[in-house]
Amino acid sequence: MIELVNITKSYDGKINVIENLNLKINKGEIVVLIGESGCGKTTTLRMINRLNEPTGGTIMIDGEDYTKMSKIELRRQLGYVIQKVGLMPHLTVGKNIEIIPELKGWDKQKRKDRAYELLNVVDLPPEEYYDRYPHELSGGQQQRIGVARALAVNPDIILMDEPFSALDPVTREQLQKELLRLQDDLGKTIVFVTHDMDEALKIGDKIAVMKDGKILQYDTPEEILKNPANDFVEYFVGKDRLWKSPEMLRAEDIMHKTLVTIGQKRTPAQVIEVMKEKDMEFIFIVEKETSKPQPPIGYITRDNLRKQGSNNVKMADICNREFITIQHDAKMTDVLKIMEDKSARNLPVLDDDGNLIGMITTASILNLITKAVVGEEESQ
């Protein structure tokens, strides 16, 4: 675990470019630092690497104050990837990857084996690329070498400063996917700097939104999207982004929350009245009509009621008791799949105690699409 405690940084002894910054990064997590240019992302990363020393505060790595570790040793334990890859132009790809292993005194064969292994990891066949020079590679390939180099001595922690921002969108997306795959396979702790919210949401386990040397919010992508801590975070995230990120959405985010239900002892005539008044085609039956959510007993449609000859029955006797439900925290993909598989046009949403708290209808889905395409303001 990396822990930044009350970190302050001033370059000129007057202005703090980092102000009382606290950040805990758990083992195996990808943490993204995001914010506008000049907010202190690179400074923060470089302090973790000890390329910059904090003016105040401490940094702990696995509980140990890192100022007590040797700088050189520390830096070799960390992999570092920057935007401008920084490959040595006069060295081959292989030699570039082997720089730190060589500093560490690995013998020639061990270094070469490792370089071959890593070229395979970043999907560049070693037979073809080991002896090439950096200028013979595309930007995306160079960046892959940068990643391979950072992994060379198998560091637990990898620091990445806008590593993909100079790449075209297609290559960039490819490398983002590969980073996630690498992370799955190798389980590194990664601190990743970007100014691109799409990138942050895609790869971060957690995101720290920074402004003026402070962290405004440190949370999961889902929380940042759904509960931005303040106006700046909301602005920075973009109001409509939640609706454009279906993988972040849960059943409860899109359901209709104002739900009219009816008690099981009601008669058909009474229920028809309610449904007419509210313009409903179907209604859910619960035990009692209270303001507290209750488990659904069944549902009835207007058609069912019209065909009901007698008014001398209760809803409990005539309602349909077979229906599909969905949990409030189900992912949108599951919601859509169920609606598709079961041809369900209406999906009651249940809380953890099995109470009915909302309804997803085809209209909710349509509303969602509208928000994603048109934006939130216009669709409300």
Ligand X SMILES: Nc1ncnc2c1ncn2[C@@H]1O[C@H](COP(=O)(O)OP(=O)(O)O)[C@@H](O)[C@H]1O
Q: Which residues bind ligand X (CB under 6 A)?
A: 11, 17, 35, 37-43
Smallest separation, CB 227 to Mg ion (Å): 27
Smallest separation, CB 227 to ligand X (Å): 24
Nearer to ligand X (CB atom), residue 46 or residue 226: 46
Nearer to Mg ion (CB atom), residue 23 or residue 119: 23
Residues 6 or more apart whose Cβ sits within 8 Å of residue 286: 261, 262, 263, 264, 294, 295, 296, 297, 356
Nearer to Mg ion (CB atom), residue 153 or residue 166: 166
H/E stretch holding 245: none
Q: Which stretch binds Mg ion (CB under 5 A): 15-23, 34-42, 172-180, 197-205?
A: 34-42
> Which does residue 235 touch among Mg ion, ligand X, none (CB within 5 to 8 A, set by kind)?
none
Cβ(330)–Cβ(251) below 8 Å: yes
Cβ(164)–Cβ(199) below 8 Å: yes
- Taking only Cα atoms into account, the Rg of the chain, rounded to an integer number of angstroms, comes to 28
Smallest separation, CB 11 to ligand X (Å): 3
Tokens 């959405």 correspond to what residue? 249
Q: How many CB atoms lie within 10 A of CB 125?
A: 10
Nearer to ligand X (CB atom), residue 43 or residue 49: 43
Count of residues that bind Mg ion according to CB under 5 A: 2
Cβ(279)–Cβ(263) below 8 Å: no
Backbone angles phi, psi at 2, to 5 degrees: -105, 135
The residue nearest Mg ion at its CB is 42
Nearer to Mg ion (CB atom), residue 42 or residue 217: 42
Nearer to Mg ion (CB atom), residue 195 or residue 331: 195
Closest-CA residue to 114 (of 98, 99, 127): 98
> Which does residue 348 touch among Mg ion, ligand X, none (CB within 5 to 8 A, set by kind)?
none
Q: Does 308 bind Mg ion (CB under 5 A)?
A: no
Smallest separation, CB 20 to Mg ion (Å): 20
Q: Does 43 bind Mg ion (CB under 5 A)?
A: no
Tokens 């949990």 correspond to what residue? 327
Backbone angles phi, psi at 353, to 5 degrees: -95, 10
Please pick, from the candidates 16, 42, 96, 183, the single residue that binds Mg ion as defined by CB under 5 A.
Answer: 42
